[in-house]
């Protein structure tokens, strides 16, 4: 069959006049296609599509339409199947166009497994069109049946999608039978994705809890019509639309498929034989698709790979197939004294709440779950809008996923006597996310991760760990090309080519910053987003695998008060990071220009604390910034602070740092450094707390710690000493007057004294000499927010 197709393909393109093989794109009345005759395949005139028997298993075939491939080594990409759930036998199976005008597919010559149930008095013909549509056409031009009306999991360009059609995913990558996911117009005429495994069912796109109009959809447009145009634009009557990344060319092959993992993806390619690339997809984070890992499991995603794992105390039900999820190793009794809870930080489980209540304390929520034997766990999450904690108790743990940006934790119920393995108990205060994801590398070399090493290089500026990776320079142009080729740009987080960034920065012409690791340039990306591109010094470049491991960790951090990384480039010796561009520049510049009123200053202090608290988040990834200073706090258009340059320091595993004296070398910037750096104490997240305290003092006083008048002792603490001394000097005055003494004169006394006092108190706690006396960053946030709310 392959040889035949190949020859046909070559012929039909070699001969420029239309190469007419009428028997090859059509089947006439009374004839049939037989599975045994290898050449019994219909091929569209343009050579793009074929229809015939497609192997789906051992001696199992489905009648299908597929994209032809130019090479014998590839089986064509299937776009339609007649009998996906009832494959036919390899012997004696036939597709017959009967005299009555109907098409039947019979298994081994006897049972009919599929039929069009059409009828015509006129002669009919089956025709495979250039668009991939198989049409049963009567001689008077009436279309009796067409494959476009009953899609399988794919729609092609110009194929209408209506209330009468739906897409059903296949079961798995190699199994074409009907799977769990469905795309359809719901009863309110809204285009939706649904997960249905018989046992569990839910809509997951748009999210079930969102009203259509909240996500830009329009309900009740009865035309219920959607289609993909040849240029790559998809439009639906409920106002859902998108354009593919490669929008604009008619000559591209495109197919929109509901994949077996529940993601809706648009694939494109230039011509037959090329590799398909994803040019749009509904979900950037596949963990948000319901059912992906089955019940009692947790899904994690790191920009490269999705990973499923069983909850502690659970085992995979079916070793081969995650969709069955996991089952508990224990039996839950009804005695509330027999349980304890295990925290899964930043984990959400969607659905199956038997109770959801706003403003619930942790203890109340826990008790609620303990009292009900069917309760498998609960989620306690913080609502930013309302400033309260919500409690959700679960009867089933389904659709679980973990993302660092989620603002809640889930606690699962385990028997007290259940013994957790080492691996599992680590989860309780997890550093499992920190274990670097295995990067799918196309190179043969084993991927070595250098995780915890300390490069103590003293000095004013932090020297990034990238420096050491120099030892591992590996130029892998090929792997770069490979890895890139199958991601056309499917996520906001993307891999850029060096040429692309060179163009975007106009040849690295507009420098906007400079640090020890490299120079930052302003860039305009091809989608017209303005970006900051940090070009790491070539001397500090590292092997690609290590770089990617690092990037995937940094790139996964996602918080409104951290600068967002959009992508990276690793090509040859070039290592570049692409960040969002913040128009207001750094806190440093803004302070020296005196453009910040007290409100902005307060918000900046709160936001910066939030960003750092997130970085320090104990149970996920412990990242010490180690160089908190006003130059590293950038301001967005509405003066939202965003902490920059994190992650270039060192990722630290909890506990590791206490035992690693080698890390205790000086780093950071003079004036902001905690005393531990010089007193040889262990380095913990409290070094960032100290630096934060100094930054807040700078925000309040407008004085830079490196330029305090009369402060001879510049090693550290100049500003801190000045503030403390000033407060002591004024100790007899009223509090407001004391605060007044140290406030930045450029505010001209216009500020909320109480608020500034709160901030001052927090800052002074942060700069305590004894690191154990300093609060954690999350305590700082709480303190500031708490007071903050009281004033409103
Ligand atoms: C495909 O999956 C279905 C449903 O799980 C199963 O019944 C069938 O045997 C599978 N087919 C193959 C070829 O593995
Ligand atoms: C093509 O199909 C055959 C028959 O089922 C199978 O053995 C082979 O692995 C497939 N090749 C590819 C590249 O999928
Ligand atoms: C309904 O959908 C059709 C087809 O997409 C569109 O032309 C029409 O404007 C829509 N009507 C409303 C009221 O949005
Ligand atoms: C696509 O949808 C957006 C948001 O609903 C809308 O603003 C835009 O006009 C639509 N594009 C087109 C070409 O209809
Ligand atoms: C759970 O209970 C069932 C039946 O009561 C029993 O067969 C099974 O061994 C129990 N499992 C465990 C882990 O105790
Ligand atoms: C998890 O840790 C918390 C506090 O660290 C502890 O109270 C709880 O018992 C632990 N849970 C399990 C299941 O080990
Ligand atoms: C939350 O509950 C506490 C105590 O029950 C109450 O004081 C507080 O006002 C509540 N907050 C909100 C936002 O309802």
CATH number of the domain enclosing 344: 3.50.4.10
CA of 330 to the centre of ligand 6 (A): 18
- Band (158; pLDDT cuts 50, 70, 90): very high
Indicate if the pLDDT at residue 453 is higher than 50.
Answer: no
Number of domain units in the chain:
6
How would you label 333-368 residue by residue, b for 16+ Cβ within 10 Å and e otherwise?
eeeeebbebbbbbbbbbbbbbbbeeeebeeeebbeb
CA of 499 to the centre of ligand 2 (A): 37
Q: For residue 596, is it within any domain?
A: yes
Return the best residue to mutate from 219, 240, 241 for the ligand 4 pocket (most ligand atoms within 8 A of CB): 241
- Which of 580, 612, 646 is the endpoint of a domain? 580
SS3 (DSSP) at 34: strand
- Which of 115, 148, 181 is the endpoint of a domain? 148
Mind listing the pLDDT tens digit for each residue in 539-556? Answer: 555 667 767 766 776 777
Least confident stretch, 240-249, 423-432, 715-724, 754-763: 423-432
Q: Atom 12 (ligand 4): residue with closest C-alpha? A: 241
Q: For residue 77, is it within any domain?
A: yes
**Predicted pLDDT at 12:** 37
Summary mean pLDDT of the chain: 79
**Predicted pLDDT at 539:** 58
Q: Does one domain contain both 462 and 504?
A: no
- Band (39; pLDDT cuts 50, 70, 90): confident
Q: Does one domain contain both 88 and 237?
A: no
Q: Atom 8 (ligand 2): residue with closest C-alpha? A: 75
Mind listing the pLDDT tens digit for each residue in 515-539? Answer: 767 789 999 998 888 999 988 877 5
Distances (CA, A) of 270 to 65, 200, 314: 19, 40, 46
How many angstroms separate the CA atoms of 130 and 18, rounded? 12
Q: Does one domain contain both 474 and 503?
A: no
**Predicted pLDDT at 541:** 56
**Predicted pLDDT at 14:** 34
CA of 241 to the centre of ligand 4 (A): 6
Q: Does one domain contain both 632 and 702?
A: yes
CA of 64 to the centre of ligand 4 (A): 35
Q: Atom 3 (ligand 3): residue with closest C-alpha? A: 237
Tell me, using a 6 A CB cutoff, whether residue 57 lines ligand 1: yes
- Which of 580, 604, 639 is the endpoint of a domain? 580
Which residues are within 8 A (CB) of 455 and not within 5 positions of it... i.e. 6 or more apart?
Answer: 463, 465, 467, 468
**Predicted pLDDT at 716:** 54
Q: Does one domain contain both 408 and 427?
A: yes
CB-based pocket (< 6 A), ligand 7:
359, 386, 388
CA of 152 to the centre of ligand 3 (A): 26
Select the more confidently predicted residue: 300 or 88.
88
Tell me, using a 6 A CB cutoff, whether residue 30 lines ligand 1: no
Select the more confidently predicted residue: 594 or 239.
239
**Predicted pLDDT at 478:** 31
Q: Does one domain contain both 691 and 631?
A: yes
CA-based torsion, 557, 559, 562, 566: positive or negative: positive
CB 636 within 8 A of CB 584: yes
Radius of gyration (C-alpha) of the chain in whole angstroms: 31
* Residues that are catalytic: 627
CATH number at residue 176: 2.90.10.10
- Band (652; pLDDT cuts 50, 70, 90): very low
Q: Does one domain contain both 746 and 598?
A: yes
Q: For residue 326, is it within any domain?
A: yes
CB 268 within 8 A of CB 257: no
Q: Does one domain contain both 420 and 471?
A: no
SS3 (DSSP) at 83: coil
Q: Does one domain contain both 616 and 759?
A: yes
Mind listing the pLDDT tens digit for each residue in 85-97? Answer: 999 998 889 999 9
CB-based pocket (< 6 A), ligand 2:
55, 74-75
* H, E, C per residue of 620-686: CCCEECCCCCHHHEEECCCCCEEECCCCCCEECCCCCCCCCHHHCCCCCCCCCCCCHHHHCCCCCCH
Q: For residue 4, is it within any domain?
A: no
Measured from the alpha carbon of residue 417, the closest ligand is: 6
- Band (229; pLDDT cuts 50, 70, 90): very high
- Band (112; pLDDT cuts 50, 70, 90): very high
CA of 535 to the centre of ligand 7 (A): 49
CB 462 within 8 A of CB 667: yes
Find how far residue 774's CA is from the centre of its chain.
Answer: 35
CA of 198 to the centre of ligand 1 (A): 16
Indicate if the pLDDT at residue 710 is higher than 50.
Answer: no
**Predicted pLDDT at 102:** 93
Indicate if the pLDDT at residue 160 is higher than 80.
Answer: yes
Instruction: Residue 391: name the closest of 400, 378, 404 by CA.
Output: 378
Indicate if the pLDDT at residue 210 is higher than 90.
Answer: no
Measured from the alpha carbon of residue 224, the closest ligand is: 3
Indicate if the pLDDT at residue 17 is higher than 70.
Answer: no
- Band (467; pLDDT cuts 50, 70, 90): very low
| Host domain of residue 513 | 494-580
Tell me, using a 6 A CB cutoff, whether residue 172 lines ligand 1: no
Q: For residue 457, is it within any domain?
A: yes
Which atom of ligand 4 lies nearest, measured to the CA of 216?
5
Measured from the alpha carbon of residue 414, the closest ligand is: 6
Mind listing the pLDDT tens digit for each residue in 715-726? Answer: 456 888 888 888
Least confident stretch, 102-116, 127-141, 331-345: 331-345
Q: Does one domain contain both 459 and 427?
A: no
SS3 (DSSP) at 140: coil
**Predicted pLDDT at 454:** 25
Q: Does one domain contain both 311 and 274?
A: no
CA of 493 to the centre of ligand 4 (A): 23
Measured from the alpha carbon of residue 2, the closest ligand is: 2
Give the mean pLDDT of 154-173: 95
pLDDT exceeding 70 applies to what percent of the chain? Answer: 78
**Predicted pLDDT at 163:** 94
Return the best residue to mutate from 83, 175, 176, 180 for the ligand 1 pocket (most ligand atoms within 8 A of CB): 175
For 308, phi and psi rounded to 5 degrees? -105, 145
Q: Atom 13 (ligand 5): residue with closest C-alpha? A: 330
Mind listing the pLDDT tens digit for each residue in 489-516? Answer: 344 678 899 999 999 999 999 998 887 6
CATH number at residue 548: 3.30.200.20
How many angstroms separate the CA atoms of 120 and 354, rounded? 56
Q: Atom 9 (ligand 2): residue with closest C-alpha? A: 75
Return the best residue to mutate from 359, 362, 382, 388 for the ligand 7 pocket (most ligand atoms within 8 A of CB): 359
Tell me, using a 6 A CB cutoff, whether residue 329 lines ligand 5: yes
Q: For residue 609, is it within any domain?
A: yes
Tell me, using a 6 A CB cutoff, whether residue 428 lines ligand 6: yes
How many angstroms separate the CA atoms of 447 and 268, rounded? 31
Q: For residue 659, is it within any domain?
A: yes
CB-based pocket (< 6 A), ligand 3:
218, 221, 223, 225, 237
**Predicted pLDDT at 400:** 93
Give the mean pLDDT of 262-272: 91
How many angstroms separate the CA atoms of 611 and 778, rounded? 10
Instruction: Residue 628: name the closest of 579, 551, 586, 687 by CA.
Output: 687
**Predicted pLDDT at 424:** 61
**Predicted pLDDT at 13:** 37
Q: Does one domain contain both 335 and 243?
A: no
Which atom of ligand 5 lies nearest, measured to the CA of 331?
1
Instruction: Residue 643: name the closest of 619, 674, 610 by CA.
Output: 610
Give the mean pLDDT of 203-230: 91
Which residues are within 8 A (CB) of 673 and not within 5 positions of it... i.e. 6 or more apart?
Answer: 666, 687, 690, 691, 716
Tell me, using a 6 A CB cutoff, whether residue 636 lines ligand 6: no
- Band (11; pLDDT cuts 50, 70, 90): very low
CA of 95 to the centre of ligand 1 (A): 23
Q: Atom 5 (ligand 3): residue with closest C-alpha? A: 237
Tell me, using a 6 A CB cutoff, whether residue 340 lines ligand 6: yes
CATH number at residue 786: 1.10.510.10
Q: Atom 10 (ligand 1): residue with closest C-alpha? A: 175
Select the more confidently predicted residue: 410 or 421.
410
pTM reported for the whole predicted model: 0.66
Give the mean pLDDT of 473-488: 32
Q: For residue 3, is it within any domain?
A: no
Bridging pattern class, strands 388-394 and 377-383: antiparallel
CA of 611 to the centre of ligand 7 (A): 26
């Amino acid at each position: 069959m392959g040889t035949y197709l190949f020859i046909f393909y070559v012929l039909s393109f070699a001969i420029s006049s239309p190469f007419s093989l009428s028997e090859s794109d059509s089947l006439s009345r009374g004839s049939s296609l037989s599975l045994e005759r290898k050449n019994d395949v219909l091929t569209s005139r343009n050579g793009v599509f074929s229809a015939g028997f497609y192997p789906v298993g051992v001696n199992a075939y489905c009648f299908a339409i597929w994209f032809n491939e130019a090479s014998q080594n590839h089986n064509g990409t299937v776009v339609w199947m007649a009998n996906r759930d009832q494959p036919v036998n390899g012997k004696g199976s036939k597709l017959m166009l009967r005299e009555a005008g109907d098409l039947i597919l019979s298994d081994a010559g006897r049972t009919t497994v599929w039929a069009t149930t059409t009828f015509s008095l006129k002669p009919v013909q089956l025709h495979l069109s250039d668009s991939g549509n198989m049409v049963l056409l009567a001689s008077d031009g009436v279309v009796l049946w067409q494959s476009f009306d009953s899609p399988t999991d794919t729609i092609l360009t110009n194929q209408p999608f209506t209330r009468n059609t739906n897409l059903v995913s296949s079961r798995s990558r190699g199994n074409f039978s009907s799977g769990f996911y469905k795309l359809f117009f719901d009863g309110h005429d809204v285009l939706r994705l649904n997960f249905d495994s018989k046992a569990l069912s839910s809509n997951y796109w748009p999210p079930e809890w969102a009203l259509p109009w909240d996500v830009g959809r329009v309900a009740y447009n009865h035309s219920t019509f959607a289609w993909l145009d040849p240029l790559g634009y998809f439009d639906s009557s409920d106002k859902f639309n998108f354009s593919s990344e490669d929008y604009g060319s008619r000559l591209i092959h495109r197919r929109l498929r509901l994949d077996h993992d529940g993601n809706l993806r648009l694939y494109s390619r230039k011509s037959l034989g090329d590799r398909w690339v994803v040019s749009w997809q509904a979900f950037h984070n596949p963990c948000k698709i319901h059912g992906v890992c089955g019940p009692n499991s947790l899904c994690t995603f790191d920009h490269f790979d999705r990973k499923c794992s069983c909850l502690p105390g659970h085992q995979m039900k079916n070793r081969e197939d995650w969709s069955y999820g996991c089952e508990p190793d224990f039996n839950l009794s009804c005695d509330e004294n027999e349980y304890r809870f295990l925290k899964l930080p930043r984990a959400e489980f969607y659905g199956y709440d038997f109770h959801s209540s706003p403003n619930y304390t942790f203890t109340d929520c826990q008790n609620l779950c303990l009292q009900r034997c069917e309760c498998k766990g609960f989620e306690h999450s913080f609502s930013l809008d309302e400033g309260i904690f919500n409690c959700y108790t679960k009867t089933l743990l389904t659709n679980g996923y973990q993302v660092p940006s989620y603002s809640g934790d889930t606690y699962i119920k385990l028997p007290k006597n259940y013994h957790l393995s080492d691996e599992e108990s680590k989860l309780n205060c997890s550093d499992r996310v920190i274990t670097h994801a295995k990067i799918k590398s196309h190179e043969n070399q084993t991927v070595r991760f250098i995780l915890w090493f300390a490069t103590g290089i003293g000095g004013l500026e932090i020297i990034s760990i990238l420096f050491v990776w120099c030892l591992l320079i590996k130029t892998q142009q090929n792997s770069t090309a490979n890895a890139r080729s199958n991601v056309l740009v499917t996520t906001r987080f993307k891999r850029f080519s060096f040429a692309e960034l060179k163009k975007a920065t106009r040849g690295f012409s507009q420098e906007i910053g400079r640090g020890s690791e490299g120079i930052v340039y302003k860039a305009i990306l091809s989608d017209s987003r303005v970006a900051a591109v940090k070009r790491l010094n070539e001397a500090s470049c590292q092997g690609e695998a290590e770089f990617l491991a690092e990037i995937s960790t940094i790139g996964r951090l996602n918080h409104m008060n951290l600068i967002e990384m959009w992508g990276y480039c690793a090509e040859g010796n070039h290592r570049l990071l692409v960040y969002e561009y913040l128009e207001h520049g750094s806190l440093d510049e803004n302070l020296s220009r005196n453009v910040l009123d007290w409100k902005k200053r307060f918000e900046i202090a709160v936001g910066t604390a939030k960003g750092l608290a997130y970085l320090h988040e104990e149970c996920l990834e412990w990242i010490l910034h180690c160089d908190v200073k006003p130059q590293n706090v950038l301001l967005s258009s509405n003066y939202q602070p965003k902490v920059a340059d994190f992650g270039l320091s060192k990722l630290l595993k909890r506990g590791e740092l206490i035992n690693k004296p080698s890390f205790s070398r000086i780093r950071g910037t003079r004036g902001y450094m905690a005393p531990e750096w010089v007193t040889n104490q262990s380095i913990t997240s409290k070094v960032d707390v100290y630096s934060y305290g100094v930054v807040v003092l700078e925000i309040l006083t407008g004085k830079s710690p490196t330029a305090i008048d009369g402060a001879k002792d510049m090693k550290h603490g100049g500003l801190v000493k000045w503030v403390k001394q000033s407060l002591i000097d004024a100790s007899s005055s009223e509090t407001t007057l004391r605060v007044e003494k140290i406030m930045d004169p450029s505010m001209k006394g216009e500020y909320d004294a109480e608020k500034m006092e709160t901030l001052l108190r927090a800052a002074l706690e942060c700069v305590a000499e004894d690191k154990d006396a300093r609060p954690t960053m999350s305590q700082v946030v709480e303190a500031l927010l708490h007071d903050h709310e009281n004033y409103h």
